[in-house]
Amino acid sequence: MLSKDQISGIYRQFSPELYRYLYKLTRNTDASEDLLQEVFEKFIAYTAEKEIQADKHRAFLYKTAHNLSINYLIKQNRDHCGDINEMEESLKTEDTCLDRLMLDDLNRALYRVLETLDPESRSIFIMHKEDGMHYDEIAETLSLSARTVRRRIKNVLDILYSELKKDGFLT
């Protein structure tokens, strides 16, 4: 089992990019923090039983984050409880400053379209876009073929192109 210091070190190394990925995917700071914590809890539980080579830590964390966030997004789609969530939102104060992140029109439109896509394609696209992961890297992380990843991203780009053209971002 990894030591507490090692876990802290791995957390400090990977949590910023994982959190950014989770936030871009879920668009919710609370959910991203919950999922991030859950990712590391699964990592602790897994490494207590089996050893993971140091160079595979990132892939393991991403794959877990991908799986957990897909489950979260599917559940969110199923569970429409807008009003109570709005009431819950009123508790928050920290989210208002994060809203400034997405002031850019194009990104807003982009994420609006991304939210309509299936969770898996969305996750793959965000890994590629926000974390700069190449097709091979995503494929290795998610145990897919690079060809599948490339095709998925092409499909997303196809949809984005058409939708953004409707919104006047493309001519």
Partner 1 sequence: MKGHLTKSILIGYIQNNLNERRSAAVRDHLEACDLCRKNFTVLKNITAPSGGKKIKPRRSVLAGVLDYYDNYTRPAEPAPAPRRPRLRYAAIALGAACACVIIFALHSQLQYENAPLYASRVKGTVRADNGILRKGQVVRPGVLLTTGEDSKLAIMYGKVMKLTAGPHSRISITKSHIDRKSGKIHFEMVIDSGSVFARTGKGWKLQYTLVTPHGKVSSTGSRIAMRVEPSKTRVMVKDGTANIASNKGHSLDTEEGNGYSIPTRE
Q: In angstroms, how far is CA 66 from the centroid of its own chain?
A: 6
- Residue selected from 59, 68, 70, 102 as contacting partner 1 according to rule CB under 8 A: 102
Residues in contact with partner 1, shown as a per-residue x/- string from 25 to 64 under the rule CB under 8 A: ----xx-xxx-xx--xx--xx--xx---------------
Is 83 among the residues that bind partner 1 (CB under 8 A)? yes
Alpha helices, DSSP H only, in the chain?
A: 4-26, 29-49, 57-78, 82-89, 95-98, 105-114, 119-130, 135-142, 146-166
Amino acid symbol at 65: A
Structure tokens at 107: 């990104």
The residues in 63-82 that bind partner 1, with binding defined as CB under 8 A, are 81
Which DSSP state fits 116? Answer: T
The residues in 117-156 that bind partner 1, with binding defined as CB under 8 A, are 128-132, 150, 153-154
Dihedral angle sign, alpha carbons of residues 61, 110, 103, 73: negative
**Cα 65 to Cα 16: distance, rounded to the nearest angstrom:** 13
- Residue selected from 84, 96, 116, 143 as contacting partner 1 according to rule CB under 8 A: 84
Which of 61-69, 88-96, 115-123, 140-148 is the region at the interface with partner 1 (rule: CB under 8 A)?
88-96
- Residue selected from 107, 115, 145, 166 as contacting partner 1 according to rule CB under 8 A: 107
- Residue selected from 75, 82, 104, 116 as contacting partner 1 according to rule CB under 8 A: 104
* Those residues with Cβ within 8 angstroms of residue 32's Cβ, 6 or more apart along the chain or in another chain: 19, 22, 23, 25, 26
> Residues interacting with partner 1, by CB under 8 A?
4, 7-8, 11-12, 15-16, 19-20, 23-24, 29-30, 32-34, 36-37, 40-41, 44-45, 48-49, 81, 83-84, 87-88, 90-91, 94, 97-98, 100-104, 106-107, 110, 128-132, 150, 153-154, 157-158, 160-162, 164, 169-171
